[in-house]
Amino acid sequence: MPANPGSGVRDILVIVDLGGERRAAVVAADLARQLEAHLTGLSIVYEPLIPVYTFAAPIPTDFVVAAREQNVADARAALEAFEAIGRQAGISVESRTSESIAGDSFVAVVRNAILADIAVVGQEDPDRPEPSREAVIEALLFQAGIPTLMVPFAGVSEFTADKVVVAWNGSPASGRAVRAAMPLLTNAREVLVAMVDEGWEKEGEPGAEIGAYLARHDLNVTVRTIENATNGAGEALLSFAAAEEADWMVMGAYGHSRLREFLLGGATRHVLANATLPILMSH
């Protein structure tokens, strides 16, 4: 993707993985380089996990202190790796840590995300899970209200805007996702709008309005209606993106509130868990 300093993206926030290859940080640095944006790396210091005993017993203070010190050291090591990634990319970076306390709904993460133009976070790696990863993604999307780019844990080491799939169902969430993605969509050479046929009644030509909207932004747009899949719209969209060899996808994040917790909908959850390409989501 060519440099686009006029894109409006000036500040990018990335949640830095505590371990592994930190592909989210690598992709975020590449995106910041392309857009000439500032990149902030946020490493989360998690509250120590207290072991559950089968009988009542006080938790040794030394254990709690040592566990917290280890978590702080892990967060600092992650930021050192992040800063090295930033130096290699030749970009402007800033490092921050954020304390996470049980039940605080990642208030500090939300506070750090409020003035970012886009957040980047890694997909959950089943072989090396990050603490509370899904909850962090929910906090970014639903509480901070920031467009969030989810980076697969394998196979991606840069951001390529060339070919994008836009998941479209005419909902306000999908509309917000398209508007949030516009700074990146303007660099796409091919935009495929994918509408999953879920048995809705067709009024007029399906997808005509979104096709016209994107065309007015001088984008090369094709609108496609695709068949639903056994496991629902999420599977259908990912299969379509794979068949078309898309570089990334845009979709609205769907969820609802229950007991003050944000729960992702089935299609969103399926995409987050199974995507092999970057997914830009907005709620």
The pLDDT score that the predictor gives to residue 16 is 98
Residues spanned by CATH 3.40.50.620 within the chain?
A: 11-151, 163-282
- Residue 103 is predicted with a pLDDT of 66
- Tell me the pLDDT tens digit for each residue of 81-131: 999 999 999 999 999 999 887 667 789 999 999 999 999 999 999 999 999
- Look at strands 221-227 and 190-197 and give their pairing: parallel
* pLDDT confidence of residue 50: 61
Average pLDDT of 169-178? 91
Q: What pLDDT does residue 65 have?
A: 85
CATH architecture of the domain with residue range 11-151: 3-Layer(aba) Sandwich (3.40)
Superfamily of domain 163-282: HUPs (3.40.50.620)
DSSP-assigned letters across all residues of 24-76? HHHHHHHHHHHHT-EEEEEEEEEPPPPPPPSS--PPPHHHHHHHHHHHHHHHH
What band does 268 get if pLDDT is binned at 50, 70 and 90? confident
Contacts of 31 (CB under 8 A, 6+ apart): 12, 37, 120, 149, 159
Least confident range of 124-133, 141-150, 201-210: 201-210
In this predicted model, what pLDDT tens digit does every residue of 129-144 receive, in sequence order? 999 998 899 899 989 9
Cα–Cα distance, 172 to 254 (Å, whole number): 10
Mean pLDDT of 257-274: 67
pLDDT value at residue 194: 95
The answer, yes or no, to whether residue 171 has pLDDT greater than 70, is yes
Euclidean distance between CA atoms 218 and 28, whole angstroms: 26
